[in-house]
Structures are given as C-alpha cells and as structure tokens.
Chains A and B, each alone.
Chain A
Amino acid sequence: MRLHGRAHKFGDDVNTDYIISGRHKFKTLDMKELARHVMEDLDPEFSSKVSKGDFIVAGKNFGCGSSREQAPLAIINADISAVLAKSFARIFYRNCINTGLPVLECDTDLIQAGDELEVDLAAGVIHNLTSGVDIPIKPLPPVMLKILSDGGLVEHFKKHGTFKFD
C-alpha cells in the first residue's frame, strides 16, 4: 500500500488535547465535525490546509496525554493518511492501530514542512520526493500488524470474536 501527500510539521510532545480539544470532543460522535478542529490549538488554520492524503510529521512523544480515541478518528477524518513521528505515546499508538490509522516511527528530522512524501508501507520505507532521501520505518510488532491487517480491532473481533494472534 502506497500513500502520497505533503508533510505538515509539528514539534515534540503533541498531546491529544492539541489533536482534538476537550471543548469539542465531549459534544458529538460526528468525526467529520471534530475533524474541522484537528490541531486547532497549535494551528487554527490546520484543517483547511490539508489536502487528501497529506501527512502529519512530528517529533518525539506524539499523542501523549488523554486516552481519547477521537484523536486518531479526527485525524483520519481530516483526510490525513498517516502520522510520522520519532516516537509515539502508548495509548495513542494502540488507538491508531485499533482504528486503522498508520503510525510510522522514523527519523522525522529528514523531512521538512511541505516536502512531498511517498510512503511504501509494505517495504517499510518513506521516499522523500522533495529531498530524494529514503527514510526507513521502524517495523510494527507482529500483534499490531495482525490487528492492522484485519482492518482494525473492530474487524478483528468481528472475525474472531476474541483476541486471536496465532
């Protein structure tokens, strides 16, 4: 599977309150509505800058803070195809796998804002088409690969009725 789009860069420790603020997320389960407010406290114009397939590219500890699953869902509904970061916070990382948002651990210093990227998930590599540099992606643990390949945890449960990793 290949993803293609431009990089939107953020710094370290982007927390889930920044991804989708509490003042919005308690109101509705309409993720399209929440998607309009993604990253609003860091960049009020963010959702209008995104073209379909673009990437959020960040530093370390992306997704720290609250366990809200509205964070990955709002990112997905904002038409972001994947999040690239040096590292991710644990609960957010699980939530992304469960909801089917690719989260890619890689050296994001090699990506500048606006760079055009092509992500080859199967090969585990990001081609930075702007700089010509190839960036390796840290492989996912097998359990998470299994859940992702089933299409997320909902599909995994529909298929197996419980956790099945063998």
Chain B
Amino acid sequence: MGKTLAEKILSNKSGVDAYANEIVVADLDFVMGQDGTSPLAIQAFREMNGQKVFDRARVAMVIDHSAPSPLEGVSALHHGMREFAAEQGVILYDIGEGVCHQLMPERGHVVPGDLVIGADSHTCTYGAINAFSTGVGSTDLAAGIISGKLWFKVPESIKFVLNGELSPGVYSKDLILYLIGQVTADGATYMAAEFTGSAIRAMSVEARFTISNMAIEMGAKVGLMEADQKTISWVRRHTDRPFTPVAADPDAVYAEVREYDVSSLGPQVACPHTVDNVKPVEEVAGTPIQQCFIGTCTNGRLEDLRIAADILRGEKVNRGTRLIVAPASRQVMLDAIAEGIIQVFLEAGAAVVTPGCGCCVGTHNGVPSDGENVLSTANRNFKGRMGNNKAFIYLASPATVAASALTGRITDPRDFVK
C-alpha cells in the first residue's frame, strides 16, 4: 500500500512500516526550543534526571520571542537558557539572531526527509522543505533532548492540490489565509497537510515557508511539500549535509483531497479575532489602521521585505499610522541593508526593530493601545495576542500591509504593485 509524505518520513525514522493512526517512536534529526518554552523544558530535563543531551550539535535554543529582554523576569529566564546551553554545549542563538523558524532552515539545521520537533507551534514551517517538523510542548521537548526520540501518532493526511497561477499582487499568504478560511481553525486537526500543484511549484521556497508555517492554524500537525529542484538548490545553499528527498506514493491514501484553482484568488484578510475569519480585501477595505507590522516567521523574509519595500519606496507612511518592521533574522537584515531595503523603510517612516518575533507575541516592541486596529503579516490575530485584549488584529500579506501603511486604511495592494 502506498504512503503519504508523513507516513514515509515517520516510517523511515522509526524503522517501522507505519501507516496513519499507528503509534511509532521515531529518531529525531533536530530539536529546538525558544525562550517561551525552553525554560520549562530545562526544568523538566532536570526533573527527568537528564544528564546529557542526546547530541549537542542537534539541539538549539533560540532567544527570539522576547528579545532583547524587556523585563527582569524575562532576563532571568534568558539567563537560565544561556547557562544550560553553556553547560550542555548545545547551540544557542541569542538576541538579535532572529526568529527560530527562520534560523533552523537558514543555518542548515533542517534538510529534506528530516524529522524535527520544536517547542513552538509554528515548527511546521519546515514542511516546505520536505521535512516532517512539528510543534510540541516543553516536556516533550525535554524527552527529545534527552533521548533523541519522540512518540508520534502517524497522522492521516489531507492533500491540497493548488492549480493555476497566483495573479500579480496576490501572494502565498493570501492563498494560505484563503485555505484556512475554507477548512476552518480545526479542519485539519491531528492531520498532516500536504500542499502540491502548479501554484506551489511556481512559488519560491521563501513563499512556500509562509504556507507551511500556517498549517497549524487549521489544526494540522505538519504542512508538507515535496522537494523539487528549487528546494534542493535552496537547501544546498544553506548546508552541505547529505539528504534524500521523500516523495509521496501515487497510490497513497488520503483522508481528503481538496482541489483549488488559485488563478482568480484576490488578496485576503483574516479579521479579528480568529485566523479562520477570512474575507476578500474588498470587503474590509477602508478599515482605519493605527499600527502596521511587517515581520515574523510567516512573512519576515527577504522576499517579503522586498515586496513591501517596492510599495513603500519614495513614499511616506500615513500620518496617524505606525509601521513596525522586524526582519526575520540578522542575515535577512544584512541582506536587506545591502539591497537598500532597510533605507526604504526608514525613509518611509518605519520603526525597524531587532530581528526576532517583534510585536507578534505581545511582550514588547509595539503593544497596541485600547481600541486600535493593527494590520500584521503575522499568523495569529487572537484577542490579546499583541499584548492588549482591547485591540483588533487583522492579518494580510506584506503587500497589503505596506499599501495600507501608506493610506492608513486596509487597502487592496494590487493598485500599488508596480
């Protein structure tokens, strides 16, 4: 019987011929935690009588969510991570290095066919480069750090066949928002999402990361794609570790196959306070916006910043609207400086902040005021997400956010895309 991508990778890593709904204990290729989850994992590691990590070259801790520290309490937790990293010799990415989900693939820690866990729900991002990667909590992370293994229920798979070609001004963010609106916040719970079709093949690897990143917002465990030549060259630029891409079998069994033609899709906006409350931009155009945010593990990559800069170049952010930009990593920021993109943002009146999670998680760097509307390139718009439960968060593509920053209202970016 044929296998899905998820069944293949979990079979390879567990040594068991595994199919959906079976339980396997599998070997992990890489294990990652961030500053919201690592402190509890370190505590669990000690409680489990952990002495040594399974492989210090395959464990990373990333200080990105609340970095640099805005508070004494946060500083103490960061200190604990630095101490643990020094004691165990694991990889530490300290403040300013970037968002964990940018760093894992960028620094070559993930290759096609890998099995990766991260104590962060958006670990599903690396599915875009053909890795089974999924989010776990701190205790699972501790177990993974000690043993190099974790148990998994092999997920059923839901396949999205995305045909056609995205129109100018419409991006992978619009597509994934649209799909989440269609399947809803729990439409793929416990499942692996597989994304395929001509629209995916036409996308850059960076654009594909945006799709896989948001698989969790429909409840999925992972958002997988097959590796094509683009994937292979992208990964080769970031590591020389050998790898074997994994393909789904033609006779693999899917719980559901959903087919879409994306050619007529327009820009989409997720409205407060759930990610699946998605509307075409026309329906919410004109909504006044006080804060715009470009960044995060969803849309803080070089390509995203380029798209935004092309709209902002030579223009000024609307009076009464703030624009905050957080590049996804130091490397992204360096590349953006080299291309003159950061200059464009600064001249337009943006506040460019430290590479990392920025104001997405509500700890620092731009907490909105009561009653304010925020338009963000992030992946979550839950009430209170950005630190104020009386603010309203809308999600959109970098182009929609950049265009709206200029007008001060939610704006269809297609009139601005040159």
Contacts and interface: CB of A to CB of B under 8 A. Distances in A.
A99 B139 CA distance: 8
B74 A17 contact: no
A17 B143 CA distance: 24
A22 B387 contact: yes
Contact of B139 (A23, A27, A42, A98): A98
B147 A163 contact: yes
Given A13-B186, A95-B139, A25 B149 contact: no
B77 interface: yes
A90 interface: yes
Count chain B CB atoms within 10 A of each CB in A27, A89, A152 and give the residue with the most: A27
Interface string A145-166: 0000000111001100111010
Given A65-B121, A157-B143, A143 B138 contact: no
Contact of A67 (B44, B136, B185, B385): B136
A157 B73 contact: no
A45 interface: no
A61 B47 contact: no
B12 interface: no
Contact of B140 (A25, A61, A94, A162): A94
Interface in B165-196: 185-186, 189-190
A22 B189 CA distance: 23
B161 to A, nearest CB: 24
A28 B80 CA distance: 12
User: Which bucket holds chain A's interface residue count?
Assistant: 35 or more
Interface in A86-108: 87, 89-91, 94-95, 98-99
B229 interface: no
Nearest to B380: A65
Contacts of A13: 185-186, 274
B53 to A, nearest CB: 14
A64 B187 CA distance: 12
Given A60-B186, A157-B48, A163-B147, A22 B363 contact: yes
A26 B36 contact: yes
Interface residues of B, number: 54
A165 to B, nearest CB: 7
A83 to B, nearest CB: 15
Given A26-B35, A41-B383, A69 B121 contact: no
Contact of B363 (A23, A141, A158, A165): A23
Contact of A141 (B120, B136, B153): B153
A41 B384 contact: yes
Contacts of B23: 141, 143, 165
Contacts of B186: 13, 60-61, 64, 87, 89
B37 A67 contact: yes
Contacts of B120: 66-67
Contacts of A153: 44, 139-140, 143
B300 to A, nearest CB: 18
A26 B66 contact: yes
B127 interface: no
Interface in B114-149: 119-121, 123, 135-140, 142-143, 146-147, 149
Contacts of B346: none
B137 A95 contact: yes
B144 to A, nearest CB: 10
Contact of B137 (A60, A61, A68): A68
Given A61-B186, A90-B221, 4 more contacts: A23-B362, A29-B39, A67-B136, A98-B137
* 5 nearest A-B pairs in the assembled complex, by CB-CB distance: A95-B137, A27-B73, A61-B186, A69-B137, A41-B384
25 contacts: A13-B185, A13-B274, A15-B380, A17-B382, A21-B362, A22-B65, A22-B361, A23-B387, A26-B71, A27-B73, A28-B77, A41-B384, A66-B36, A67-B121, A87-B189, A90-B190, A91-B136, A94-B140, A95-B140, A98-B140, A158-B47, A162-B147, A163-B150, A165-B23, A165-B25
